[in-house]
Structure 1
Amino acid sequence: MALITLLLYALSLGLLSYAQPEPLQNYNSSDLLATCNKISAAISGASQVFFPPSPQYTLDIRHSTASIIEESACSVEPGSAEDLSVILCILGSTRTPFAVEGGGRTTNPGFSSTTGVQIAMTRFNETKVNSDSGTVDVGAGLNWDPVYQTLAAIGLTVAGGRIPGVGVAGTTLGGGYGLLTSQYGLTLDTVTGYELVLPNGTVVNVTSEDEDLWFGLRGGLNNFGIVTKFTFKTYPQGNVWGGARLYAASQQDAIKAALLKFQQQNDTKAEASVSMSYTSGKFLFTIFYFYDGPTPSGVYDDFLAINSTGGNVSTNSFYDYFLSVGPQPPGAFESVAFADFHAASVTQFSPAVFDVIVDQINLWGARLSALDNTTAVEFACQPFAQGLFSHGSASAYPPDRSHAIFPVSFTTEWTNSTLNDTMAYALRNISSAVRDAAVADGQDVSHAALYPNYAIYGTPLEDMYGGNVKRLRKIRREIDPEDVMGLAGGWKF
């Protein structure tokens, strides 16, 4: 009861300044319907508009977090960049709000959902290998699962996402931390080109020669138009070793010591994510291991010496490993009622910082579970090689490549709709507590960038993009003087 009282008091004083985004504008339903019909009449047979309650419309507006689904006036599946150009021009000229959905995994309301026109990128689903250039063209409507599957058949891979069911577009446009980050950099560092529909409808191919757009697209999300295709570098890929093991809360000190030692090793093929969860009053560690080779080099010995309560590690193909850490059966679409993400950034998971992270999940796990016994809280510590930002040139994210920062992700899931503001408040407090602990530990993270794909709605742009905000705003004004992309949700410069 004390927690509820505190939160309500803070809200009444206006201390919690982060609210869900306001609607862009109240549009007459007949105007929206007219726009949908105009689009339907203008596009080719490669594309199609769907209306409620058709099954395809329902699939097009679907998101993994049910609470952020909005009833759009219609959905449209463009089948070519040219048709998407027509669609974007109509939306811009009619000032109709819209949203663009790839994987549908965001938890931020209004970022890829709308009451206007939902653009579903489903038909941009090609994976084309370019053997002569060592690259692969990937449609923006795909998630990573079929991309990895296609490439696995010819012994290749890309530095994409680490979890099944996550979209290629969101991962890449926001940054992209994955299984191969320590070796090759962020996903955006491995892009060699974009096919982009500009806000004015022009279809362009963007490469590193296009200095401003190249900078903005690499971490700047959907501010500069709609990407229809990415071209990625490919890498040879053999069997890998890894899996997940579960550990009791009593192993905290042993895991802390093993994690500290792991961060000091220099084998860029080795990745580990230390996850901790609090559900139904129970705290649990899960460590996800990944080694890019059939046998690990000994870097996990301290972890593997810790008594485990379950789980398994083994040698598999890259694709089979990838599927094993996702929903079961593979390909299942996971959906929760309510969920939020947020993040902090650290330069090291030191013993002091690790202890604060554990304290925070126990503190807030207990508090939030007392309000809704279905609440699940999960944190993930994700160390990478110190040189992870050395693989690419200047980009929107990260704003500073001079030293490594590692993301800590915080997730809450719940079913009580009255607790939305409470959950957001909790995540912001957790993020601040971890940052403060890192600063007290001597880490230079007081202004370290938060990862845009993890940050909760209402996060100031400067907290993610730092000193790049001014340049990004200038680029957006030049690329989109009519503010067409402002009709869509997401982080806006």
Structure 2
Amino acid sequence: MSTAKRNIQKICNDSKDGSVLYEFGGEGYKSSVRHFLESSTDVAAYAVQPGSETTLVEIMKVIAKEKVPFAVKGGGHAMCPGFSSTTGAQISMMRFKQVKYDEKAKTLDVGAGCLWDEVYREVAKFKRNVVGGASADGVGVAGWLLGGGYSLKTNKYGLGIDNVLKYRIVLPNGRIRTATKDDKDTKDLYQALRGGGNNFGIVTQFTLKTHPQTATFGASLSFPGTREDRVKAAIVKFVKEESRPEAAIVSAFRHTLRNGKREYNISVLCVFDAPRPSRRADIPFRMFADLMKGSASFTSNPVGWNARGATTTLETLPDADVQNAGPEDGSDLEESGFREMTADEMHDIISPYDLEPRVPFQVVSDPDIDSAIEENASFAVSPSTLTARGASRGGLTAMKGVGELAARGRFHCIMVSKYTKKLIDAVAREAEAAAQSLKAKNGQMVLIDIWPFLPSIFDNSPRGAAWPHKKGAAFGPLLAYFRWEKAEDDKFWLRKMKTALKNIEKVALEEGCTTGKLPYYSNTSLEDVTARMIYRDNLKSLQKVRAKYDPDDVMGNTGGYKIPLPK
């Protein structure tokens, strides 16, 4: 390690591009190793920020020669420990920040160190947009795209990997290649990178298709758990009736612990990727707006357009009068928090997975319960330590503040092709069952979501991708996201999450919503999911591609779902 470190230090010192090697400690080191949660951050021996492909090439040559354990970090939202973090050499791609629009080709070049927030801001200048991360707040481009990429635009344009035209990559041997589908020398590499993760080298730039972007329409809603039956019925109604690819919802059944008291709410993010229809009958999400209208009160401030904290009290209407009530032009929906907005404003709508949002929910309160959900409610968490595997390395002790959130947690998922009432009931039931342990086991949040897609989402997906998806076989992740405070509770919460999803999967099988053999989605799976479970029948061909581009297994020294070399 010391030889490799000295050589990489010299490479950085001799570079003309601002490349820097950071020792343990200091803000440069912390920025390089920092991840979304502390549980997925490790204590790297040192961190390096290459400033160009040229410097990255030289660093890769050292790593290959010295067999250095390493990790590559884009945005740092990988949840699994050791996937984009390491106790060896941490490579941060944060200096690869270019975002360049080609007006003639209508494509966008995006550096691997970019976050979706900055990509959206830049492309919006041209009234265009890309198929990108559904949660814009801090999610990195590289990991999301290399894993597949489900988006709020997926109903219309497919996955993120269906919209990548070109990859720039530094191969494990230090060569720089540009991979495209039409280049006979690199078309196998191009397809392997369409969902193949970090198995083939370090991607430095993506060239993406762009699409026209109009105004959008929607809201972010939050209902108290006492309204569970009505919200579930509205979700079922949306799934059955809405077939426009512009309309998307993400609903989360979320239990949190605040000040020692458990709270339960159901969030519904509603996005119509088109201008607001002129007739009420054509406006999507009416079933959710009607729930707002039938509430005793709600906070009238969906995404901060009006004075924060303004509250409107409505008279409760009988259920029979609520459905489809309102003027022909649907103007009453704005009273329920819905509004036409720019794409930038749409991306500022709260993610269903946030506890401390930068923009508040449209909140429904219930006068019949003591604790109403408060707008922008704060969430108190205790500082947590890093994972046991990373708490101390070579005399280095974990630094405070290396997680964007002082918390531990994971994503995990099952894959489903549709949602039925029984499956939605199972989601609510299992979230409730897992949440019973929040207080006793230092839990912060139990969340299980519902994100329905149309059966046609893969109908225009180009064939040949590493991650299996094809026309006529739609599926998407049913996600669980659990957060807790202490490393000593890791095993408990991981078991609890697996149990919840196993029980939900049983119902999904009975309902014909899954086969149990669909490919796992690597961006939201636990670390014990295998490469075969992700790539299924594509694994054998991917092994051959890996042998061609990484015969010395250099990328085997980093984390992630490793495609094994052929035996």
Q: Same fold (TM over 0.5)?
A: yes
CA distance in 2, matches of 1:388, 1:45: 42
Matched, 1:201 2:174: yes
Matched, 1:255 2:240: no
CA distance in 2, matches of 1:404, 1:328: 31
Q: Secondary structure at the match of 1:369?
A: coil
1:94-153: per-residue Cα shift (whole Å, max 9, x none)? 000111000001110000111111111011101100111110100110000111101112
1:450-470: per-residue Cα shift (whole Å, max 9, x none)? 211000111122222221122
1:3-402 map, 5 Å: 30-31=2-3, 33-41=5-13, 43-163=15-135, 164-209=137-182, 210-264=186-240, 265-280=242-257, 281-296=262-277, 297-307=282-292, 309-310=298-299, 311=302, 312-325=337-350, 328-329=357-358, 334-372=404-442, 374-393=443-462, 394-402=464-472
The corresponding residue for 1:451 is 521
AA matched with 1:375:
Q
Identity of aligned residues (%): 31
CA contact (8 A) 1:245 1:313 kept: no
CA contact (8 A) 1:43 1:87 kept: no
Give the length in aligned residue pairs: 462
Distance 1:72-1:34 versus aligned 2 partners, 3 A rule: same
1:156-189: per-residue Cα shift (whole Å, max 9, x none)? 1111011121001011110111121111111111
CA distance in 2, matches of 1:424, 1:375: 14
Shift of 1:294: 2.6
CA distance in 1, matches of 2:3, 2:265: 52
CA distance in 1, matches of 2:473, 2:348: 32
Tell me whether 56-65 or 424-433 shows the greater mean CA deviation.
Answer: 424-433
The corresponding residue for 2:484 is 414
AA matched with 1:128:
K
1:305-359: per-residue Cα shift (whole Å, max 9, x none)? 11455553322111122023256548xx942321111011111110111111111
CA distance in 2, matches of 1:33, 1:205: 29
AA matched with 2:459:
S
CA contact (8 A) 2:219 2:269 kept: yes
The corresponding residue for 1:21 is none
Report the aligned-residue RMSD. 1.9
Structure 2 runs not aligned, ≥5 long: 303-336, 360-402
AA matched with 2:263:
K
Tell me whether 426-435 or 143-152 shows the greater mean CA deviation.
Answer: 426-435
Shift of 1:257: 2.6
1:360-416: per-residue Cα shift (whole Å, max 9, x none)? 0000111243222x4211111111221111222231223555411121111111112
Q: Secondary structure at the match of 1:305?
A: helix
Structure 1 runs not aligned, ≥5 long: 1-27
Shift of 1:255: 2.4
CA distance in 1, matches of 2:219, 2:17: 45
AA matched with 1:185:
G
Shift of 1:284: 1.0
CA distance in 2, matches of 1:379, 1:95: 40
CA contact (8 A) 1:399 1:465 kept: no
